[in-house]
Structure formats: structure tokens, C-alpha cells
Chains A and B, each alone.
Chain A
Amino acid sequence: MNALLAVALNTYREAIRNRVLYVLALFATLLLFAGGFLTQVSFNHEKRVYLDSAAALIDLFSAFLAMGTGVNLIYKELQNKTVYLILTKPISRTRFLAGKLLGLWAVMWVLTISMGILAAGGSAILGVGGLAALSRQVVLSSFQALVLLSISLLFSSFTTPVLTGAFTFGMFLIGRFVPDLHAILHRKFQPDLARDTADRLLDMLPQLHLFAVSGHELQGRYVSIAADFVSWRYVGITSVYSLLYVLLVMALASWMFRRRDLV
């Protein structure tokens, strides 16, 4: 077996053997709670509310799980000094990071797909449909998770876990509100060099708003998971964007990590 895959498999095992089941249980409970609550709501709104909340849950859960496991697992790897055993074996630090990312991403796929299946089950019980839209949301959320994982790896490669957590969460928040931030800039400031620079900077951040589209305007069109959701084509383009972005982030992470003293 390839050394990179060995790291990926081990990372996957660690995450799966640790906490995934508890998280899923929590998610299922929340979903059931939502479903139970919804039976009280008038029938017309039920479909929209149910699918909206399921999509939001998948989206936010996967984002927080990605940040949580990303920060936590690398932190543990460095803090517990298990890296001493791994990085003195014939594997480059770059491949080690890539293996970590792959393993964690595999976990995220398992999680988002499980959440998708639970959500679809709820939707079948309520008879509200929306399966295709839900599966597109699952794919979007998995790629958002990938971006967040790579960002947590980047920060972990040179700073402390606490700062990694804070920076990753900061990137998440800003990334989700890039269009709003652009709008604010354009409302409050005259067009000048400073504003242009700020615009460019915002564009360089991870465009995480692309992954949570339900309930937002997209190219002048109102998008809703219950009615008029994004196409597979959109999902494909967004996925390619995340892969390219992640490649850049990982190149940077690897460059930093190769220089790091493992004390």
C-alpha cells in the first residue's frame, strides 16, 4: 500500500472510531425533532420548511464537523507526538498532509451522505420529495468541507491549535458572506484603489457562499432547495473551483510544514 493511503486510512479510522456515530445520532434527533415540530405547521409550508431546514442542517453540520475534526486531528497528531512515529518513516511531509486531507475528506463524505440519507428518509415519510436537490446539497457540502479541511491543515501547519481554530472559523464566516461584504464595500466607499484592493482580497478568500445557495439570490435568480435549486452543472463547476482552491492551499501548507520543527 502506498504510504499516502496508509496515512489516509489511519486518519479515517481515527475519526470513524471516535465520534462520528454520536454526531449522527445527534443529527438524527434534531431532524426528528424538526419533523415532529413540522407536523404542527400548516401543510402548505411543510415541504419548504422541511427541505430548507434539512439542507441548512447538512450544510452547517458538515462545515462545523470539517472544522472540528480538521483542527482537532492535526492538533492531536502534533500534540500527542504521534508524528514522531510517522514522519521518521519514508513519507514526505507533503504526502503526509495529503493523506490527512484525503482521510478526513473520506470521513466527511460518509457523514454528509449519511445525513443526506436521513434527510431523504424524513422527506419520504413526509412525502415532500426533493431527493435530487438534497443529493446536490450533499455534494456541495462535501466540497465545502474539503475547502475547510484544507484551510485548517494550512493553519495547523504553522500555528497553534487555538489560533488554527480561530482563523479557520474566521475564514468560514468571511467566506460565507463575501457577496454581502462586497455589497457593503460598494455602498460605503467610493471606487478607489483601497476599495479595489479590498475587493480583490475578498475574491482571494474561499468563496464558501457558493456552497450554501438555498434561500439566496444567485445571478439574479432566487434559489430554493424546495423549488428552484441549482443544477448539477453548477455543482460540477463549484466542485472544480474547490479542487483548484484546495490545491493552492495545500501547496502553501506543505511549503510551511516542510520548514516546521516538530518539537
Chain B
Amino acid sequence: MSVLPLKVENVYKSFHAGLFSGRVEILHGITFSLNPGEIFGLLGRNGAGKTTTLKTIVGLLTPDSGTVSIFGMSPSSVQARRLLGFLPEHPYFYGYLTGREFLEMAAALHGMGSREASRRADELLETVNMTHAADKPLRKYSKGMLQRIGLAQAIVGAPQLIVLDEPLSGLDPVGRRELKEVVLSLKKQGRTVLFSSHILPDVEEMCDRVGIVEQGTLTLVESVDTLLERGTQRTEVELIGDCSKLINHFNKLSFVKRAGATVVTLPRDGDVQGLIAAAIKHGCHISGVKPYRKTLEELLLEAPSGVSEQEDASRKEDTQ
């Protein structure tokens, strides 16, 4: 039996609120695990505890109680970190190093000799499309460029588990597309990816499963397919021509005129086949059949403890 890439069990974490005040509990018993080769998205509004969860997973923070294991090992062990790659939120870099030097150092930290390290650095610069700026100091990089170098350093040691904190923020659409491609290619190589995000369309596109963090609790873990399937609500069929007979026949359905066509909306479990067969029989032309599926974003916003309107607005801004 193989060990899971990541197992988080009942993790509690608190911080000192101030010099003279007590501790504030931020994580209240987080439990989840990742299967080999899956992409898992951790979602939640700002301040929900995503970063704290990820930092505990990668061993920067020690949980008050509960355990984290990476392939069965504690994240504080060097062995576990050989299998781990991490991209922090707003990563900071040594401004005086060039992109290449930084990646060489990252490779050396994975125990590579200097020749191997420089070969690996070149390879990664290629992967993240940064070869042109390889010899510029990092302090002259733009945010998007740094994010790419950040991704490159996260995968320098060919890790089996890659943890990315808000990897898509700060990237332009091209950068996002490229990052998604890198992540999907990691999945193809059988790597496991955990990332946090608040940009839902991207999550929908990439993830196998998502987990929702709210105020330090994981409120939902679900496969994206299941979520979206639950969100398939209705099917619209658009007809042209004289449909009066059809309308009479299906008097329980609502038909509306729209842009010269007649549109009928069937509920989630409606008989689409039957309607189409009847339409043909009654001499209507079918100009379109469109299933309506809620996006992940709509589904999550609908959840009873969903995101507030104000957050929603800021999220839309971010997404644009």
C-alpha cells in the first residue's frame, strides 16, 4: 500500500494576538488528505486560514495539536522536504541574485552539484519562459516574472507534492495560462498539487477536488465534477418556425419568444429527448440546445455561509 502524498489530521493552530493578550485560534481542526496525482484547490475568502494551513503543511509553522504527514513523514524532516515544493503567497526573493543564480541555489539546496544545478536552472528558466531575463537581478523583475521564478524554484527538486499559495494572483492572462499548463503537466507526470486560490474559474479548470475553508474550518471537500453536476440546472431548447402545436402539446412548460425564436426551458430532470422528438414531429426547427450549468463561483456564492457581497465585488475585481 502506498502512503498518501499528504495527510492533514485535526490540525489546530493559534497565534499570539499581542504582547499581553492571549492566543487566538486560527485553525480549528483541519482534516483532509490528497490522493496521488490529484490537483486539489483550497478555496476561501481572505483571512479564512488558507495560508496558515499551507504554512503548517510545509513545516514553517508547527500545529498546536494534530498532525501533518507528507508521504508518511513529518514536514519538519529533511526527508519529507525532499519530496516537497512550495511557492509562498507574495514570494520574496534575494534581490541581489539573478534569476539563474537563485535557481542554482535552490537546486543546490536539493543537494545538486554545481554543474547539475546550473543545468537544472537552465531547464527551469525554459519551462517558465524566463530565459531572456535569466541574468538580470531579481530586484528588477516584475511581479509576474517573480511569480514565474517562484514556480520554478518550487519544482526545482522534481517534488512529488507541490504546494502553491495563490499562484495565479499577480499574473496576467498569458501568465495564468502558462502557469496552468505547467501545473497540468505536473499532474500528467503523476505529481500531486495543492494550491489555494480565490480565482474560481481557474480552480474549476484545473482542480480534481476542492476544499472550502471558512474561519479556520474546512467546511466542504468535494470533487469538482460532483459540484458542477449538482449545478446543472436546466436545458434551454431554441426553436424556429410555427410552434403553436408543440406549445399546446407541452402546456406545462413555459415557452418564451426571444429574438425571433421560441425558447423553452426544461428543468434539470426534464425529458430533453422527448421534447426534441415532439418538436420534429410538429414541424418546428431546432436551432439550438443549451445546457445551463452553474459555475463553481455561482455554486459557492449560493452556499448558506457563502461570501459576502463586499467580498464578492472585490473578488470580481481580482478576476478581471
Residues of chain A with a CB closer than 8 A to B112's CB: 1
Query: Digit string of A74-103 for contact with B (CB within 8 Å is 1, else 0)?
Result: 000000111111111111100000000000
Interface presence of A261 (CB below 8 A): yes
Complex: chain A residue closest to B61, CB-CB = A261
Name A91's contact: one of B55, B60, B109 (CB within 8 Å): B109
Whether the Cβ atoms of A89 and B109 lie closer than 8 Å is yes
Measured as residues with beta carbon below 8 angstroms from the partner, the interface class of chain B is 35 or more
Interface presence of A72 (CB below 8 A): no
Whether the Cβ atoms of B113 and A1 lie closer than 8 Å is yes
Whether the Cβ atoms of B113 and A89 lie closer than 8 Å is no
Residues of chain A with a CB closer than 8 A to B82's CB: 90
Q: Which of B15, B82, B108 has the most CB of A within 10 A?
A: B108
Residues of chain A with a CB closer than 8 A to B91's CB: 81, 84-85
Interface presence of A13 (CB below 8 A): yes
User: How far apart are the CA atoms of A6 and B58 in the complex, in Å?
Assistant: 21
Complex: chain A residue closest to B60, CB-CB = A262
Residues of chain B with a CB closer than 8 A to A81's CB: 88, 91-92
From B27-35, B93-101, B286-294, B296-304, the one touching the partner chain is B93-101
Whether the Cβ atoms of A85 and B110 lie closer than 8 Å is no
Whether the Cβ atoms of A17 and B96 lie closer than 8 Å is yes
How many A-B residue pairs have C-beta atoms within 8 angstroms? Tell me: 87
Residues of chain B with a CB closer than 8 A to A13's CB: 96-97, 101
Whether the Cβ atoms of A3 and B109 lie closer than 8 Å is yes
Whether the Cβ atoms of B111 and A85 lie closer than 8 Å is no
B39 to chain A, nearest CB (A): 19
B142 to chain A, nearest CB (A): 18
Within 8 A of B (CB), among A41-91: 80-91
Name B61's contact: one of A1, A17, A258, A263 (CB within 8 Å): A263
Residues of chain B with a CB closer than 8 A to A90's CB: 78-79, 81-82, 109-111, 157
Q: Contacts A81-B92, A82-B92, A82-B93 known; A261 to B60 CB distance under 8 Å?
A: yes
Whether the Cβ atoms of A263 and B92 lie closer than 8 Å is no
Q: Contacts A1-B117, A3-B108, A263-B15 known; A88 to B92 CB distance under 8 Å?
A: no
Q: Contacts A1-B114, A262-B61, A263-B61 known; A88 to B84 CB distance under 8 Å?
A: yes
User: How far apart are the CA atoms of A80 and B92 in the complex, in Å?
Assistant: 6
Interface presence of A14 (CB below 8 A): yes
User: How far apart are the CA atoms of A10 and B106 in the complex, in Å?
Assistant: 11
A255 to chain B, nearest CB (A): 14
A80 to chain B, nearest CB (A): 4
Complex: chain B residue closest to A95, CB-CB = B78
Complex: chain B residue closest to A15, CB-CB = B96
Whether the Cβ atoms of A88 and B58 lie closer than 8 Å is yes
Whether the Cβ atoms of A88 and B60 lie closer than 8 Å is yes
Residues of chain A with a CB closer than 8 A to B92's CB: 80-82, 84-85
A100 to chain B, nearest CB (A): 13
Residues of chain A with a CB closer than 8 A to B110's CB: 3, 89-90
Whether the Cβ atoms of A89 and B61 lie closer than 8 Å is no
Interface presence of A219 (CB below 8 A): no
Within 8 A of B (CB), among A1-16: 1-3, 5-7, 9-10, 13-14
* Other 8 A-B pairs with CB < 8 A, given A10-B94, A84-B92, A259-B62: A1-B113, A3-B109, A9-B105, A81-B88, A84-B88, A85-B150, A261-B62, A263-B61
| Chain A to chain B contacts (Cβ below 8 Å), 8 pairs | A1-B108, A2-B111, A6-B109, A10-B105, A14-B94, A81-B92, A84-B55, A92-B78
